[in-house]
Structure 1
Amino acid sequence: MSATTDKRPAGPPPGGPRGGGPMGHGMGMPGQKSLDFRGSLRRLLTVLRPERVRLVLVLVLGVGSVAAAVAGPKLLGNATNVLFEGIVSRQLGGVLPAGTTQAQAVEALRASGQDTIADMVSGMHTLTVGSGVDFTRLGEILLVVLAVYVAAFLLGWLQGRLTARAVQNTVKRMRTHVEEKLGRLPLSYFDRQPRGELLSRVTNDIDNVAQTMQQTLSQLITSVLTVLGVLGMMFWISPLLAVVALVTVPLSVVIAAAIAKRSQPQFVQQWAWTGKLNAHIEEMFTGHALVTVFGRQRQAAETFAERNEQLYQSSFKAQFISGIIQPALGFVSNINYLIIAVVGGLRVASGTMTLGDVQAFIQYSRQFTQPITQIASMANLLQSGVASAERVFELLDADEQSPDPAAPAALPQPVRGRVAFEDVSFRYEPDVPLIEDLSVVAEPGQTVAIVGPTGAGKTTLVNLIMRFYEVDSGRITLDGVDTRELTRDALRSQMGMVLQDTWLYEGTIAENIAYGVDGATHEQIVEAAVATHVDRFVRTLPDGYDTVIDDEGGTVSAGEKQLLTIARAFLADPAILILDEATSSVDTRTEVLVQHAMNALRAGRTSFVIAHRLSTIRDADVILVMEHGRIVEKGSHDELLTAGGAYARLYESQFAAATAPVD
């Protein structure tokens, strides 16, 4: 049998805060403390470990792609040399005999006093006066360049595909871990966590981590390999110019580090305020009707504007400060380009370098500074992604509920439903007592009603039965077995629960009724609906049991939603039934009908009924009156009225209020 639990996973328990329950405040957000950037980054990298085979292939493909891309400028430099030498040979053909060799041309130019031109000609690879441009050789070089760049593209495309696969697999596992973690968290975590903030971590932050890894992982590998490959080619072509190019690197690193240090706290604030804003939007949207009824639209809009402004300020500062990195490094790169162009031109004129090598070196200098600039510009993405990753890791590191026993006990069959509290003590906060040394027994088949003022601990008592919270001392037994010796699934499979706050998911009415029972037939669903007076209004709907509804319940009223949750519990056929103000949203006539259905449902089952309307529990076998976490009275309706104690005062005040004249 499946438990039917209509408890929403957010908000403080009805027993608090007066009864010592947790307040509805948000947990500490990352913006309120410094971010462990390095630790979180290392942990984020470990998340990629299962994809190490793909990442090795990405690295290999990156090496091939970068090698091809790095070879391109050198090959283009050779093409430039062929063009330049052909043009110079044709120019020299006007002053020297055709067919003059390169050595003869240099000697003739020096003899005529043209030493500068002679130096330049001496630095060329091959030159024959009057031969012109060797287009055959030029075409061969350009075909090789085309093949190299096509290979670089194909290898880069395959690298990007593998990177996307690795990243998406990693994010899929992360989402799975988060989903599994949410199932292991205690109810107290959701009590203290605003739903919008939690949703922001599960959706926005994980999406941001995915985007960060997707955009930086492949590009980072390519950029690092490009820097190494280009640096090797630069030293091969000209060690002097390579040293000149490297002079600006330390300056670039210092600038990038200084800017990144100032932008990181702003990224932390950006994602913290994103969570706060989402929490406010979710809260106001859920309670839109109440916000409108009580005229709080202006205050809600002001809160939104304030948080939106904070998000704007932090996002603007984060993006602006980190955005300075690229233009700053671009300025340094332009200075580097200017120095290389001047020095390279002088070396061509002196014959110590060819024009093609200078051209290739200038391209390499661009290729060298560009990946450094890219790595620096990735800092804002990386910082934003790590800030989001830390928020996800905080969720994954949250304290979990105590694990189920390794060797769980088994309930005697059939389950009778005897529930006993033995010297149970519990408090939400360590220094705020709530339930102290509580002992009470619910015999099989009994209906136990729990009444008392708000905050007395009524719902807390039910939460302890369901093990939504663990007792601090004492124990709770089901048919003599300590509930902590059972798995939570085994315990809750014996219970059906209907709460004051209804919960329906998007689906048909039939699917919502059958939520707690796998494989329920249509006949069983209709039988449960008829018994709980749901059938009468479902048949008035155009699509009947196939009508699609959701938690907003636009096609059904609040009372009808309540009836659907009662039908759900009826179909689950539990051994123990828990009703927490289950008829609070139905009208008086429907309440009478539901009471008859509840009487049939409670027959032969142990039932716990929390009620504020005392008229609904007159037929309870035992009524427990709670005040400040203690049972102050116990007995039947008639016995407690005769005693004239706390229950009698509650009863008289309730009915006196109902019949008091209005001035």
Structure 2
Amino acid sequence: MENKKKTSFYGRMKPYIRGLQLPFLLAVIGAIVSATITVIGPDKLKEITNTITKGLTPTATGMIPGIDLDKVGKIALTLAILYVISAVVGYIQSFTVATIVQRFSQRLRKAIQTKINKVPLSYFDSHSQGDTLSRVTNDVDLLGQSLNQSLGTLVTSVVLLIGSIFMMFHSNVSMALTAIGSVFIGFLLVVVIMGSSQPLFKRQQNNLAAVNGYVEEIYSGHNVVTSYNAAGETSEAFKKLNTNLYKSMWQSQFLSGIMMPLMIFVGNFGYVMVCVVGAVKVINGDITMGDVVAFMIYVRIFSQPLSQIAQAFTQMQSATAA
């Protein structure tokens, strides 16, 4: 039992993911391709903005050269093609991850069925039918849904995060530090919240199993309960279990619910900081208007994966609890 407690989440899931590593690797490659194209997009928009700005800026003689529409059109066409490729690759990646998760859930249900047929009768004497049903239905369904919602998002978000950081530092170091610093503080707060919410998710699943087990037991023996006039006692016991489930679910969902609004606020704060610092640098002539436009998009790309990673970790906590 001690070894089982020390086994990691991946270690416990390893027997059920055999043969799925290659499709998952292909999904990761697809996520890398899609994310790479996404982070290239702002750089192309910077070229378009600089071309337009250059065409509207008077020369030394006071003449306005005009916008090079051919150059703008070529860049826009290239950008459109890249985004179409990114969308197609992203769809294939999402489809692959969904297929992997459903196959994993199918194997897990088969393993549970096999295990139930092998356990001694003493197990069923010490565990209610509702608790066993909760493991087969609620826990497996929650595990599958959590992985389906978080696995693909987690891979894509990590690649997007790394790519956006690289492109920001490649464009301008000081602007990159402004964008990353303003967002990273909020992300540290999210990490602290996630660490404190993990026990709540485990308590939620335990209380859910307790409620299902009690309901199954009472409904199965409804005639016995009625015959012994125990409706009042069973009702009070159910209220207590239901209250415990309500408290644990409220606490876990509250903590997970505040993560996304918190990250949205942090992302907006980083957006404002980039606009302010970028405006000052444009006035001083340190950067171009295209750089500011690119960083306005980069800070969105950078904060969005952080929000998705926070949400994905919340889903993974639910999966781990299940």
Paired with 1:49 and 1:215, the residues of 2 have a C-alpha distance of 21
1:141 alignment partner AA: I
Q: List per-residue Cα deviations over 1:491-518 (Å, max 9, x = no partner).
A: xxxxxxxxxxxxxxxxxxxxxxxxxxxx
Residue in structure 2 matching 1:196, options 110, 130, 134: 130
Residue in structure 2 matching 1:153, options 87, 96, 103: 87
Q: Which residue of 2 aligns with 1:335?
A: 269
Residue in structure 2 matching 1:71, options 15, 40, 44: 40
Conserved in 2, the CA contact under 8 Å of 1:255 and 1:325? no
1:58 alignment partner AA: A
Q: Which residue of 2 aligns with 1:601?
A: none
For the pair shown, the structure with the greater C-alpha radius of gyration is 1
Conserved in 1, the CA contact under 8 Å of 2:17 and 2:104? yes
Paired with 2:12 and 2:103, the residues of 1 have a C-alpha distance of 14
Alignment of 1:286-325 (within 5 A): 286-325=220-259
Residue in structure 2 matching 1:48, options 6, 9, 17: 17
Say which structure is richer in strand: 1
Paired with 2:212 and 2:125, the residues of 1 have a C-alpha distance of 17
Q: Which residue of 2 aligns with 1:32?
A: none
Q: Which residue of 2 aligns with 1:269?
A: 203
2:280 alignment partner AA: L
Cα RMSD, aligned residues only? 2.0
Say which structure is richer in helix: 2
Q: Note the C-alpha offset of 1:387.
A: 0.6
Conserved in 2, the CA contact under 8 Å of 1:220 and 1:375? yes
Q: List per-residue Cα deviations over 1:171-196 (Å, max 9, x = no partner).
A: 11111111111122111111111110
Conserved in 1, the CA contact under 8 Å of 2:183 and 2:267? no
Q: Tell which has more relative contact order, 1 or 2 (C-alpha 8 A, sep 6+).
A: 2
Conserved in 2, the CA contact under 8 Å of 1:40 and 1:386? no
Q: Which residue of 1 aligns with 2:178?
A: 244
Q: List per-residue Cα deviations over 1:287-329 (Å, max 9, x = no partner).
A: 2233334333333222222211111110000010122222233
Query: Percent of aligned pairs with the same residue?
Result: 33
Residue in structure 2 matching 1:85, options 41, 49, 54: 54
Conserved in 2, the CA contact under 8 Å of 1:259 and 1:324? no
Give the gaps of 5 or more residues in structure 2: none
1:182 corresponds to 2:150: no
1:231 corresponds to 2:165: yes
Paired with 2:234 and 2:169, the residues of 1 have a C-alpha distance of 64
Structure 1 pair 216/252, CA: closer, same or farther in 2 (3 Å)? same
Q: List per-residue Cα deviations over 1:617-640 (Å, max 9, x = no partner).
A: xxxxxxxxxxxxxxxxxxxxxxxx
Conserved in 2, the CA contact under 8 Å of 1:48 and 1:170? yes
Q: Secondary structure at the match of 1:352?
A: coil
The structure 1 segments of at least 4 consecutive aligned residues displaced by more than 6 Å after TM superposition are: none
Paired with 2:46 and 2:219, the residues of 1 have a C-alpha distance of 64
1:309 alignment partner AA: T
Q: Note the C-alpha offset of 1:204.
A: 0.6
Conserved in 2, the CA contact under 8 Å of 1:319 and 1:380? no
Paired with 2:258 and 2:97, the residues of 1 have a C-alpha distance of 28
Q: Note the C-alpha offset of 1:45.
A: 5.2
Residue in structure 2 matching 1:384, options 295, 318, 321: 318
Residue in structure 2 matching 1:278, options 205, 208, 212: 212
Paired with 1:44 and 1:259, the residues of 2 have a C-alpha distance of 25
Conserved in 2, the CA contact under 8 Å of 1:226 and 1:368? yes
Conserved in 2, the CA contact under 8 Å of 1:268 and 1:387? yes
Alignment of 1:533-552 (within 5 A): none
Q: List per-residue Cα deviations over 1:482-538 (Å, max 9, x = no partner).
A: xxxxxxxxxxxxxxxxxxxxxxxxxxxxxxxxxxxxxxxxxxxxxxxxxxxxxxxxx
1:168 corresponds to 2:102: yes
Give the gaps of 5 or more residues in structure 1: 1-34, 93-101, 109-128, 389-663
Q: Secondary structure at the match of 1:247?
A: helix
Q: Note the C-alpha offset of 1:243.
A: 1.8
Alignment: residue pair count: 318
Q: Note the C-alpha offset of 1:365.
A: 1.0
